[in-house]
């Protein structure tokens, strides 16, 4: 994506060749601040504190975390230690494990003296691959948006209304985003597309991140409270929902930001297509059961009891919302059962949210899935 006309990725190796630059997403939307990661620990903390977040970007940051870890010691035990430290940062996004496995696979067979350079190379490739995957997802998603727009336009509509939840955008990936890739391509092609942006309590990734990046790109959008989506659907003001995922099981169950499930229910009740955009590394092929086995991250109650923003004096502030002493629970993700998902938009095409659907796009998994 471009910021002020400059093509920009969310993560990049610094010019010194030894450190990594990230956009500190905890400072958005009000300040665009680049942070520098210089060590494994800084990478792990950046993921934990959600300076970088979004499943694909978590994977990319972890890959660079391994590269940072090997600066002084590239032994097998150091790789394993980095793997464990980074894997423990966030439990739900399966891209994290995928990226760490990729790094381990690339590095362990090499002599220690070659590992540090190879780690930087592989981390860079993972980033490049993410960009390509998301762009391809965007092409397949665009075909769906076009078909829908042709129908709506023929029926007299003046714009296509898409609803999205959380931030499955450029900021959640290295570039393009998953759910937003098709939106950007549609907008760039001249389609009058408008996005309803769920604010996505409690961390407000929609209000602060999706709105920010759609605004940077000039895509018309409106932020809504999470509970408004069902009402807008009933009024015929949503043509399609498109969201991302942190982990989709081989059977097509979709873990994504808390509240996604409720949007899928409302979409089904109103006959509105509900699509999930995902790259291959977001698929959990282990055979886990979506409702029972996916680890759902429990985050701090303070994210619910307090809200962050800019105070009247323009400084970042945290405001207490709840009575002192009220407890708060903060499950960060939920699982939308495959039956509520109209289709999965992947880099290889669109398929039904089912084991057969996914295997039709990833046939190389057929034998492994059967084992």
Binding site for ligand MRU (CB under 6 A): 53-56, 93, 166, 168, 172-173, 177-178, 205, 244-246, 256-257, 332
- Using Cβ positions, the residue closest to ligand MRU within the complex turns out to be 244
Report, in Å, the least distance between residue 245 CB and ligand MRU: 6
Nearer to ligand MRU among residue 293 and residue 297 (C-beta): 297
Burial-class residue 299 by CB neighbours within 10 Å (0-12, 13-18, 19+).
middle
CB of 167 to ligand MRU, least distance (A): 6
**Which C-beta is closer to ligand MRU: that of 48 or that of 237?**
48
- Least separation in angstroms between CB 35 and ligand MRU: 16
Helical H segments across the chain, by residue range:
40-48, 55-69, 76-87, 94-107, 112-154, 179-188, 205, 211-217, 229-234, 260-269, 290-293, 302-305, 355-361, 365-370
By C-beta, is 42 or 334 nearer to ligand MRU? 334
Q: Give the angle subtended at the CA of 257 by the CAs of 252 and 260, to the nearest 5°.
A: 65
287 prior amide bond cis, ω within 30: no
Of the pair 70, 174, the CB lying nearest ligand MRU is at 174
Report the residue number, 67 or 242, with the smaller CB distance to ligand MRU.
242
Nearer to ligand MRU, 52 or 69 (CB): 52
Non-local (6+) Cβ contacts of 291 within 8 A are 253, 335, 337
Range list of H helices, 173-228 = 179-188, 205, 211-217
Minimum distance from residue 92 beta carbon to ligand MRU (Å): 8
* Alpha-carbon span 319 to 40, nearest angstrom: 32
Give how far the C-alpha of residue 141 lies from the chain's centroid of Cα atoms, to the nearest Å.
16
DSSP for 218-244 reads T--EEEE-GGGHHHHHHTT--SEEEE-
- What's the length of the chain? 371
Active site residues: 246
Is-contact 129 229, C-beta < 8 A?
no
DSSP 123-159: HHHHHHHHHHHHHHHHHHHHHHHHHHHHHHHHTT-SS
Minimum distance of ligand MRU from residue 354's CB (angstroms): 20
d(CA 263, CA 155) in angstroms, rounded, equals 25
């Amino acid at each position: 994506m471009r910021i002020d006309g400059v093509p920009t990725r969310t993560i990049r190796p610094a010019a010194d060749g030894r450190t990594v630059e990230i956009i500190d997403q905890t400072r958005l939307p009000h300040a665009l601040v680049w942070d520098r990661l210089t060590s494994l620990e800084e990478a792990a903390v950046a993921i934990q504190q959600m300076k970088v977040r979004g499943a694909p970007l978590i994977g990319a940051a972890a890959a660079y975390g391994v590269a940072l870890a090997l600066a002084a010691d590239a032994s097998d035990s150091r790789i394993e230690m980095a793997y464990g430290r980074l894997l423990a940062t966030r439990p739900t996004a399966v891209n994290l494990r995928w990226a760490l496995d990729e790094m381990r696979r690339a590095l362990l067979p090499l002599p220690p003296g070659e590992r540090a350079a190879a780690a930087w190379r592989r981390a860079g490739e993972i980033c490049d691959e993410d960009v390509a995957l998301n762009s391809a997802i965007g092409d397949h998603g665009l075909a769906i948006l076009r078909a829908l727009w042709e129908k709506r336009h023929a029926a007299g509509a003046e714009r296509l209304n898409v609803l999205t939840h959380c931030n499955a955008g450029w900021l959640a990936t290295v570039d393009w985003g998953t759910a937003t890739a098709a939106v950007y391509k549609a907008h760039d092609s001249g389609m009058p597309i408008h996005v309803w942006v769920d604010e996505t309590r409690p961390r407000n990734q929609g209000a602060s991140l999706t709105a920010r990046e759609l605004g940077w790109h000039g895509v018309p959008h409106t932020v809504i409270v999470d509970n408004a989506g069902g009402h807008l659907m009933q009024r015929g003001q949503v043509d399609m929902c498109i969201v991302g995922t942190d982990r989709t099981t081989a059977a097509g169950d979709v873990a994504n930001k808390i509240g996604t499930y409720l949007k899928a229910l409302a979409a089904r009740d109103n006959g509105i297509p509900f699509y999930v955009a995902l790259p291959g590394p977001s698929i959990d092929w282990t055979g886990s059961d979506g409702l029972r086995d996916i680890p759902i991250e429990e985050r701090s109650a303070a994210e619910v009891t307090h809200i962050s923003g800019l105070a009247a004096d323009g400084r970042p502030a945290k405001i207490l919302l709840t009575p002192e002493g009220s407890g708060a629970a903060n499950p960060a993700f939920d699982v939308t059962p495959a039956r509520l998902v109209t289709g999965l938009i992947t880099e290889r095409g669109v398929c039904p949210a089912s084991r057969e659907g996914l295997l039709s796009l990833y046939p190389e998994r057929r034998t492994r899935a059967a084992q």
